[in-house]
C-alpha cells in the first residue's frame, strides 16, 4: 500500500493536533495545588516533622531499671571459715534513676519546638517552589502570546513575498527587496522555532516541580489574566510577620533557642536514684537488705560551669536572631515598595503600547501595505513598516514578561 508525501504530512499534522487537543489544560491554581501535594521535597519536611513529633513523645521517658546478681562478703576459694556467718551471701540488686520532672518537661517542649521549626522550613521551601512554578507559568503564557504574534507576522511576510514575486517579472519589485523579505521571513521562522523550544523546556521544568511524568501532555490556560493589586498594609512590618514563612521560621528558631536556654537552666535541678539490695545468706544467718536513695548536686562549681556558659551563649544567639528578624522585615518592606512602584510603571508602559504604539504602527503598516498593493509604494517601505511593527510587538511582549515576573517576585516577597 503506497502513500504519497502529502498524505503522510497531513496524517502527521492531524496526529499532532489530536495529541494537543487531548493534553490536559492546567490553570495556575491547579498547578500550585499539585506542587504542594506531589513535590517530594516537601514530603521530606513532612517526614522529618513527624519524626521529631515521635521523638517528643518519648522525651519524658525514664531510663530502664538495672538489676544485678552477685555475692556479698563471700570468702575466696581455699579460705577456711570457722563460723556460719563467715560464708557470705548471695546478693540481688535493683536500681532506678528518677529524672527530675522539670528536665523531662523542658526536653519535651524543646523537641516539639524543633518539629514546628521543620514545618516552617517546609513552608519556606514550598513558597520557593510556588514562586518558581508561578514564574514558569507566566513565561509560558507570554511565549504562547509570542507564538501567536510571530505566526501573524509570518503570514504578513509570506503575503508580501507572494506579491513581490508576482510583480518582479513586470519590474514592479526589485530582487534585492525580495531577498531582504526572505531573510526577514527566515528570522521570524527561527524565532518561532526558538519560542517552541523554550515552551518545551518550561513544560519539562514545570512537570518536574509538579512531579508529573515527562511524557505527559500538558497545556496551560492561555486565557489567564494577571492583575496586580498592591496591598498597602504591607507598609507595616507587623503584617509581614503574619505572612512571611522565613520570618515565622526565624521566630521558631528563636523559640527553640529560648527552650534550649530553659533546658540548660533546669540542669541546675537535681536528679534522683534509688537502690535496693537483698542479701540471701549461704550459711545460717538471717536475711538482710540495703536500701539507698541518692541525689545529684549539679550546683557544684566544677559541674555548673558548663551549663551556665551555654545559657549565656544562648542569650546572645537569641539577641542576634531578633536583630536578624528586624532586618529581614525592614528589607522586605523596602523591596515590596520598590517592586510595587516598578510594576505600576511597567503597567503604564504596557497600556501605552496596547492603546497607542502598536495600534499606530499596525495602521501605518496596513496603510503602506494597501499602497503597495495599489503600486504606490515599494517593497522596502512595506518591510520597514513591518519591521517597526514587529519590533514594537516583541518589545511589548518582553515588557509583559518582565511585568508578570515582577508580580511573581512581589507575591514571593510577601510569602517568602
* Euclidean distance between CA atoms 106 and 415, whole angstroms: 32
DSSP string, 334-385: HHHHHHHHHHHHHHHHHHHIIIIIHHHHHHHHHHHHHHHHTTSS-HHHHHHH
Q: Which residue has the cell 517526614?
A: 47
Indicate whether 110 belongs to any domain.
Answer: yes
Question: Residue 306 maps to which CATH number?
Answer: 1.20.1600.10
* Euclidean distance between CA atoms 296 and 267, whole angstroms: 11
Indicate whether 5 belongs to any domain.
Answer: no
Which residues is 96 bridged to in the sheet? 274
Q: What is the mean pLDDT of each run of 10 residues along the chain (416 residues)?
A: 41 44 81 90 88 82 89 79 75 91 86 85 89 94 93 87 78 77 88 93 92 87 85 70 82 86 82 91 82 83 72 85 87 88 93 94 90 81 89 94 92 81
pLDDT for residue 151: 92
411: CB partners within 8 A, 6+ apart: 131, 134
pLDDT for residue 71: 86
* Euclidean distance between CA atoms 315 and 309, whole angstroms: 10
Which H or E run contains 205?
Answer: helix 175-210
Phi/psi zone of residue 375: left (φ > 0), alpha (ψ -120 to 50 degrees), beta? left
pLDDT for residue 378: 82
Indicate whether 4 belongs to any domain.
Answer: no
178: CB partners within 8 A, 6+ apart: 161, 164, 165, 168, 379
- The full length of the chain comes to 416
Indicate whether 398 belongs to any domain.
Answer: yes
- Is 316 exposed, middle or buried (CB count within 10 Å of its CB: 0-12, 13-18, 19+)? exposed
If DSSP codes are grouped into helix, strand and coil, which group holds residue 87? coil
Indicate whether 7 belongs to any domain.
Answer: no
* Euclidean distance between CA atoms 413 and 162, whole angstroms: 52
Indicate whether 375 belongs to any domain.
Answer: yes
> Domain count of the chain?
1
- Show the domain range for 204: 28-76+83-415
Indicate whether 201 belongs to any domain.
Answer: yes
Record the pTM. 0.77
- The answer to whether the beta carbons of residues 318 and 257 sit under 8 Å apart is yes
* Euclidean distance between CA atoms 385 and 180, whole angstroms: 13
Indicate whether 23 belongs to any domain.
Answer: no
Amino acid at each position: 500500500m503506497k502513500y504519497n508525501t502529502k498524505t503522510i504530512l497531513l496524517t502527521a499534522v492531524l496526529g499532532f493536533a489530536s495529541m494537543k487537543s487531548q493534553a490536559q489544560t492546567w490553570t495556575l491554581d491547579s498547578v500550585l495545588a499539585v506542587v504542594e501535594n506531589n513535590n517530594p521535597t516537601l514530603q521530606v519536611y513532612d517526614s522529618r516533622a513527624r519524626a521529631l513529633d515521635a521523638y517528643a513523645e518519648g522525651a519524658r521517658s525514664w531510663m530502664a531499671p538495672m538489676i544485678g546478681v552477685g555475692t556479698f562478703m563471700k570468702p575466696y576459694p581455699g579460705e577456711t571459715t570457722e563460723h556460719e556467718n563467715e560464708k557470705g551471701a548471695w546478693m540481688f540488686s535493683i536500681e532506678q534513676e528518677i529524672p527530675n520532672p522539670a528536665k523531662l518537661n523542658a526536653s519535651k517542649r524543646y523537641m516539639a519546638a524543633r518539629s514546628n521549626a521543620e514545618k516552617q522550613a517546609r513552608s519556606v521551601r514550598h513558597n520557593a517552589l510556588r514562586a518558581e512554578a508561578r514564574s514558569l507559568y507566566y513565561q509560558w503564557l507570554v511565549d504562547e502570546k509570542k507564538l501567536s504574534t510571530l505566526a501573524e507576522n509570518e503570514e504578513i511576510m509570506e503575503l508580501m513575498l507572494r506579491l513581490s514575486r508576482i510583480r518582479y517579472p513586470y519590474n514592479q519589485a526589485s530582487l534585492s527587496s525580495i531577498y531582504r523579505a526572505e531573510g526577514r521571513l527566515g528570522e521570524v521562522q527561527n524565532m518561532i522555532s526558538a519560542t517552541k523550544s523554550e515552551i518545551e523546556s518550561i513544560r519539562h521544568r514545570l512537570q518536574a516541580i509538579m512531579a508529573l511524568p515527562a511524557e505527559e501532555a500538558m497545556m496551560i490556560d492561555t486565557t489567564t489574566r494577571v492583575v496586580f493589586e498592591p496591598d498597602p498594609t504591607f507598609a507595616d512590618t507587623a503584617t509581614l510577620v503574619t505572612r512571611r514563612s522565613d520570618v515565622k521560621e526565624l521566630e521558631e528558631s528563636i523559640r527553640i533557642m529560648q527552650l534550649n536556654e530553659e533546658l540548660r537552666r533546669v540542669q541546675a535541678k537535681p536528679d534522683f536514684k534509688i537502690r535496693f539490695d537483698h542479701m540471701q545468706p549461704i550459711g545460717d544467718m538471717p536475711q538482710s537488705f540495703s536500701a539507698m536513695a541518692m541525689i545529684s548536686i549539679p550546683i557544684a562549681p566544677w559541674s555548673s560551669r558548663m551549663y551556665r556558659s551555654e545559657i549565656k551563649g544562648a542569650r546572645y544567639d537569641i539577641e542576634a536572631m531578633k536583630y536578624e528578624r528586624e532586618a529581614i522585615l525592614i528589607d522586605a518592606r523596602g523591596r515590596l515598595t520598590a517592586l510595587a512602584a516598578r510594576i505600576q510603571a511597567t503597567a503604564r508602559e504596557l497600556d501605552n503600547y496596547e492603546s497607542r504604539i502598536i495600534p499606530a504602527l499596525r495602521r501605518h503598516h496596513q496603510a503602506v501595505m494597501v499602497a503597495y498593493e495599489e503600486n504606490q509604494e515599494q517593497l522596502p517601505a512595506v518591510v520597514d513598516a513591518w519591521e517597526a511593527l514587529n519590533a514594537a510587538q516583541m518589545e511589548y511582549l518582553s515588557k509583559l514578561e518582565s511585568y508578570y515576573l515582577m508580580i511573581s517576585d512581589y507575591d514571593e516577597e510577601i510569602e517568602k
